[in-house]
Amino acid sequence: MAIQRTFSIIKPDATKRNLTGAIAAEFEAAGLRIIASKRLHLTKAQAGVFYAVHAERPFYDELCTYMASEPIVAQVLEGEDAIAKNREVMGATDPAEAAPGTIRAKYALSKGENSVHGSDAPETAAEEIAYFFSGLELVG
């Protein structure tokens, strides 16, 4: 498997509880390099564009309100098979179903307040990275 890049968000529930460093350490321990990182406070409209694919879901409004409730940390992770590796390190969306030792099993509060987001495929990774970062900000 080639070196890939994936997009990650450390979500409001985690930044609020001062877990940014703990979660970043989980990525690094798994062999993922953080090649871009920025802390920002999204507006609800910016969160809505990011999660537009979920616009028809019943939880969309709640999701956008939550994502704009506190700062987030947007990151680009690089490594061997990075998309799948990051999803493995994150664990299942619902912390009740996340494997022991994963970020969501350790830190997530609920299916909505689940501490991290990670891209699910190469196309979405490219789109999500481009939404938050310019090429000059990716320093591998």
Active site residues: 117
Taking the C-alpha atoms of residue 109 and residue 13, their distance in angstroms, rounded to an integer, is: 8
106 binds ligand CMP, rule: CB under 6 A: no
131 binds ligand CMP, rule: CB under 6 A: no
- Token code pair at residue 80: 């061997």
Instruction: Report the residue number, 31 or 112, with the smaller CB distance to ligand CMP.
Output: 112
For tokens 């920025």, the residue is 38
Closest distance to ligand CMP from the beta carbon of 96 (Å): 12
The single-letter code of the amino acid at 110 is: S
Question: Which stretches of the chain are DSSP H helices?
Answer: 12-16, 20-29, 44-50, 60-67, 82-90, 103-107, 122-132
59 binds ligand CMP, rule: CB under 6 A: yes
111 binds ligand CMP, rule: CB under 6 A: yes
Q: Are 93 and 103 in contact (CB under 8 A)?
A: no
Closest distance to ligand CMP from the beta carbon of 21 (Å): 20
Residues found near ligand CMP in the complex (CB under 6 A)? 54, 59, 62-63, 93, 111-112, 114, 117
